[in-house]
Amino acid sequence: MILKFLPIYLIFFCNILIAQYSISGKITEQTQSISGARMTLFNSDTSYFKEGRSDSNGMFLFSNLPAGSFTIGVAQSNYNYNESNIIIDASIQNFNVTLDRETEKGKWEVIINSPEPLGGTDLGVLMPDGKIYYCHDTKDPFYFDPVTNDTLSVMGSDSIQGCVGPILLSDSTVWFFGGTLREIYGPGTRKVKKFDVRTNNWQTHQNMLDFRWYPTVSPLSNGQVLILGGGGLNNPIRVKTSEIYDPKSGNSQPTGQIAIGNEVSPIVPLLNGKTLMTHRPPQLFDPATNQWELAADFVQSNRMSNGDHSDHELVLMPDGDVFAFGYKPFNNTPGTFVEKYDVDANKWELKSSINPVRSRAKAIILPDKKILIAGGQKEDQNDTSPVNQWGYMKRSDLYDPETDTWRNLADLNYFREYHSILTLVPDGRVIAVGGEGQPGNEPALSIIEAYKPPYLFRGVRPEIVNLNANRFSKGDELTFEIARTDSITGVLLMANAVNTHFMNSSNNRFVELEYEQNDGKVKALLPSDSLILFDGFYMLFAMVDDIPSKAEIIVVDNRSVMTSNVSEYEKKLW
């Protein structure tokens, strides 16, 4: 009754506001339809957001749309993301999209100068609050904050302890085992100390049993730490001893010996309870017997003629198998870059390689289960790829274990050798620093740069909202709401990295959680098995296909949420 008294132009305007529009179309690769493509429609600030999927014939439909200017995005795994601006002003509009196979290389961006030149003795730890703790010899640590892309000062120790083996425990303490008490190299030490991020204090603990310069360290499922090898009191002679250190009591007990003395070896606790160490030759530690046994040898063997740094890095996959990336030949044959270890069969097999073959490159598993390879030393002298005066590369590549295929990515901005540290952070980027100088030496200057992987160029990312807690016990249920997607495709935990050289001495866990979703609310169940889920800090990601949310950092341990022994620091953090 009221509208008939309005001017004609206002009646027309009101009809536009309440009109409903539709967009339909087909997603193809050339003439082949693409099913399951993620379709998103959103405005400039994503306050309006719709999501859908292409059907088995590649068709999609968005209906009941308002008029206006929008962006429509099309994302499908292994294809280039397509994004177009569209003005909705007709009742039915057609929008067909042809996708090309993925060529996105990602992007490395220079961030800031490092306060300390990181080279021969550096380490990096992803901390409970998402900052990265970098340290040269424990006297000069600093934080890098990925949120602000800036560095922050942090309390250093009053004593030098370089070339250490680091561990991050679930009580927010970083432990430093062994190393040397001299500015440059020197004999190994038995010294153990920790930095407590909650109190910003350092504390010295009971010594290890043996002298260890650059020991190999790995957490065990019971919270204790396996420590082995390293240069002894007569460094560079490497020791063959190993021991288990209990951070709670400070006591250490001897275990069986490794086959050959070595240092900073690739090591990873397997899902079956044993620990795999692969540097000269592959060996397994069994906590049930406290003894070492030989594992199957590499297809390409004998690797490395002495106890110096390994030529490869290990990556533990969600299914429990292990990949070794990197190969240094001792003849003129470049070899194969990657071998896979089948844990159940106790067998290595060669996988597809990529040219040029490199040794001592950094290998990082990403939330989409693909593996980033960066830097390292070129081993194929016939290859014409650029290197610096020491043979090190800027090159980055992406390996897909599911298809056993490779793609070349954007180059690093700096040639980086094996002392470089690459760390995945909660926003999905990879932060790199160090290793720009002559191998084994601190460079004159270190540059921090960040890599945006291809999945950060795939449109609107899902968001985790209202996580029910940040501290959990094994077997607990975690809940959260999800935004900017109608349906997630996965929930996963990735252990915070603890790096020295190109080795990760975290528990290396990548755990895919069982979950259910109902009207934007997600419930996920943490494993109760301590072999699957160690105590420690993890990044929690929600996935839509290969697109990760920003992560929330959680801690898994045996304390209930917000008990009386949780510090004020932890209350602020969690």
Where residue 374 sits, what CATH number does that domain have?
2.130.10.80
For the beta carbon of residue 92, count every other beta carbon within 10 angstroms. 10
Residue 7's pLDDT band, with cuts at 50, 70 and 90, is very low
* More confident: 269 or 519: 269
* More confident: 93 or 486: 486
Residues 86 and 112 occupy one common structural domain: no
- Residue identified by tokens 């390689």 is 353
- Residue identified by tokens 């420590």 is 227
Residue 10's pLDDT band, with cuts at 50, 70 and 90, is very low
pLDDT > 90? residue 563: no
- What pLDDT is stored for residue 244 in this prediction? 98
- What pLDDT is stored for residue 441 in this prediction? 82
DSSP state of 511: E
* CA angle, residues 352, 355, 361, in degrees to nearest 5: 90
* More confident: 8 or 365: 365
- What pLDDT is stored for residue 39 in this prediction? 98
Mean pLDDT in residue range 71-89? 96
Dihedral over Cα of 209, 210, 211, 216: its sign: negative
Rounded CA separation 196/202 (Å): 6
Rounded CA separation 177/215 (Å): 7
Residues 255 and 404 occupy one common structural domain: yes
Number of separate domains in the chain: 3
Residues 341 and 471 occupy one common structural domain: no
Last residue of a domain, one of 398, 422, 456: 456
Whether pTM exceeds 0.85: yes
Residues 83 and 113 occupy one common structural domain: no
Mean pLDDT in residue range 355-359? 92
Residues 227 and 93 occupy one common structural domain: no
Residues 6+ apart with CB under 8 A from 516: 522, 523
Residue 509 is part of a domain; what is its CATH number? 2.60.40.10
Residues 300 and 425 occupy one common structural domain: yes
- Residue identified by tokens 């429990």 is 320
Mean pLDDT in residue range 165-190? 94
Closest CA to 256 of 275, 269, 279, 240: 240
Residues 137 and 200 occupy one common structural domain: yes
Last residue of a domain, one of 69, 98, 127: 98
Over the range 290-313, which residues count as b (16 or more CB within 10 Å of their CB) and which as e? eebeebeebebeebbeebebbbbb
Burial class (CB within 10 angstroms; exposed 0-12, middle 13-18, buried 19+) of 217: buried
Structure-derived torsion over alpha carbons of residues 452, 454, 459, 465, reported in degrees to the nearest 10 = -60
Residues 92 and 146 occupy one common structural domain: no
Strand ranges in 291-388 using DSSP code E only, listed in sequence order? 291-294, 313-316, 322-325, 338-342, 347-350, 358-359, 362-365, 371-374, 377-378
Residue 33 near residue 75, CB atoms below 8 Å: no
As a whole-number percent, the residues of the chain with pLDDT over 90 amount to 83
Rounded CA separation 123/133 (Å): 8
Residues 425 and 483 occupy one common structural domain: no
- What pLDDT is stored for residue 91 in this prediction? 77
Residues 82 and 111 occupy one common structural domain: no
Residues 135 and 69 occupy one common structural domain: no
- What pLDDT is stored for residue 303 in this prediction? 79
User: Any idea which of 178-192, 403-417, 506-520, 524-538 has the lowest mean pLDDT?
Assistant: 178-192
Residue 196 near residue 172, CB atoms below 8 Å: yes
Helices (H) and strands (E) in the chain, counts: 2, 51
pLDDT > 80? residue 571: no
* More confident: 108 or 121: 108
- What pLDDT is stored for residue 306 in this prediction? 65
As a whole-number percent, the residues of the chain with pLDDT over 70 amount to 93
The range of the structural domain enclosing residue 32 comes to 3-98
Residue 559's pLDDT band, with cuts at 50, 70 and 90, is low
Last residue of a domain, one of 78, 98, 118: 98
Residue 171 near residue 189, CB atoms below 8 Å: no
For the beta carbon of residue 559, count every other beta carbon within 10 angstroms. 17
Residues 316 and 398 occupy one common structural domain: yes
- What pLDDT is stored for residue 305 in this prediction? 64
Residue 502's pLDDT band, with cuts at 50, 70 and 90, is confident
Rounded CA separation 67/87 (Å): 7
Mean pLDDT in residue range 217-239? 95
- In the structure encoding, which two tokens stand for residue 548, read together? 């990760």
* More confident: 339 or 122: 339
Q: What is the 3-state secondary structure (H, E, C) of 243-303?
A: EEECCCCCCEEECCCCCCCCCCCCEEECCCCCEEECCCCCEEEECCCCEEEECCCCCCCCC
